[in-house]
Amino acid sequence: MAFAGAFEPVVRAAWATGLLTVLLSAVLVARVLGMRRRLARAEARRQDVVARWRPVLFEAIAGGSPRLPALPPEDEDAFLLLWVQLLDGIRGEPLERLARVGDALGARALAGARLRREDALGHVLALRTLGYLGRAEDRAEVLRWLDDPRSYLSLAAARALVRIDPEGAPAELLPRLARRADWPVPLFASVLGEASPPRVSERFAALCAALPGPALVRLLPLASIVDAHRVEPILAALLERADEPEVLAAALRQVRSPALLDAARRAARHASWSVRVQAAAALGRVGERADRELLAGLLRDAEWWVRYRAAQALAARPYGTSQEVLALAEASGDRYARDIVRQALAEVRS
């Protein structure tokens, strides 16, 4: 009995622990079920907002004058999200008509209220809203978010700024793009594509003149939205003066003008294969018939990728008929050159 009595506190503690565990589990289950019910109610309300507002917004897009229902506070977020999603897919006059619907419903005030909250997703929605409303008086507020360390917020601010001020946005965005490694340049090419083309080209050229080669390389994907006459001198300077293979390769990747053909020819003899492969690709875009022998030499390169790009260039440009290009490879006496040319010609025919 004394032995059993000695263990009685342990047994009681075990029962208490078990009971506490069961109670905590029950509380957690209740909370999870409550969260699921709240989410289900929120989704049902969102679907109701979509069902009520989508026909109205589509009628406005089509040029009608729909009667606008009341927008209770609990429906505001769902409405703004639907409105922004529809605006993302349209341009021109339909976009302006839909923006006027948001303006009539007080979307600007709704955006301002969300910017004052501690809700990052609400901030994104608010910035997108201000961008589509396009009011000049919101420029300062949008600029305030442009330097936010959270890249998704600063990107939303950049999109909004381009819509509010397409002339002035390039001067704000391009210097920041050069400084911020977390801003994806290809994505900003699409953002800046909606800004004023002359201002983008002007600011891009000015910025490139002040940047060293390695820093400039990161911005080169923007060349696709910049006036070719602005890009050519920048690429020519890089191809003439740069020593780093990665800089030369990045510049060659943007070559689209016959004015840079001589630089591409020189690069085809570079010691680094990463430069030669881009030179071969450039010759495939701007090369002349006189470059056949140069490309034929690249078919015998030690690197497979150089041989492949040279074969693609021969197959794509006016370097002769398929038979002439194949004969050029045969004349090299290199089995790998013949094989890679056959592959490139087959890809062109398929």
For residue 1, pLDDT over 60 is answered with no
Model pLDDT, residue 25: 76
Provide the pLDDT for residue 43.
67
Considering the domain architecture, whether residues 155 and 201 belong to the same structural domain is answered as no
Residue 270 pLDDT exceeds 50: yes
Confidence check: pLDDT of 273 > 80: yes
> 9 vs 191, which has greater pLDDT?
191
- Alpha-carbon Rg for the chain, nearest whole angstrom, is 31
In a domain, 171, yes or no: no
Residue 6 within a domain: no
Summarised one tens digit per residue, pLDDT across range 304-343 is: 999 999 999 998 877 778 888 888 888 877 788 888 888 8
Q: Domain range spanning residue 311?
A: 288-349
On whether both 257 and 292 belong to a single domain, the answer is no
Same domain? For 51 and 157 the reply is yes
Residue 46 has pLDDT above 60, yes or no: yes
Whether residues 145 and 115 share a domain: the answer is: yes
Q: Which of 280, 299, 333 is the last residue of a domain?
A: 280
* In a domain? residue 210: yes
DSSP codes joined into one string, 209-267? HHS-HHHHHTTGGGGGGS-HHHHHHHHHHHHHH---HHHHHHHHHT---GGGHHHHHHH
Please say which residue of 280, 305, 324 terminates a domain: 280
pTM of the model: 0.76
pLDDT of residue 248: 94
Are residue 259 and residue 216 in the same domain, yes or no?
Answer: yes
Most confident of 87-101, 236-250, 268-282, 284-298: 268-282
Considering the domain boundaries, does residue 208 fall inside one? yes
Residues 302 and 273 in one domain: no
Please report which confidence band the pLDDT of residue 85 belongs to, taking 50, 70 and 90 as the band edges.
very high
pLDDT interval class at 7 (50, 70, 90): low
Mean predicted confidence (pLDDT) in 133-138: 94
| 106 residue type, one letter | G
**Residues 133, 229 share a domain:** no
Kindly state whether residues 145 and 54 are assigned to the same domain. yes
Report pLDDT for 335. Answer: 80
Is 313 within the bounds of a domain? yes
pLDDT (0 to 100) of residue 44: 67
Domain's final residue, options 262, 280, 298: 280
Q: What is the pLDDT of residues 215-264, one digit of tens each?
A: 888 899 998 899 988 999 999 999 998 889 999 999 999 999 999 999 99
Statement to judge: residues 102 and 51 lie in one domain: yes
If asked whether residues 274 and 301 sit together in one domain, one would say no
Based on the fold, state whether residues 308 and 235 are members of the same structural domain: no
**Between 46 and 2, the higher pLDDT residue:** 46
Is there a single domain that holds both residue 267 and residue 315? no
Q: Let me know if residue 34 belongs to a domain.
A: no
Number of domains in the chain: 3
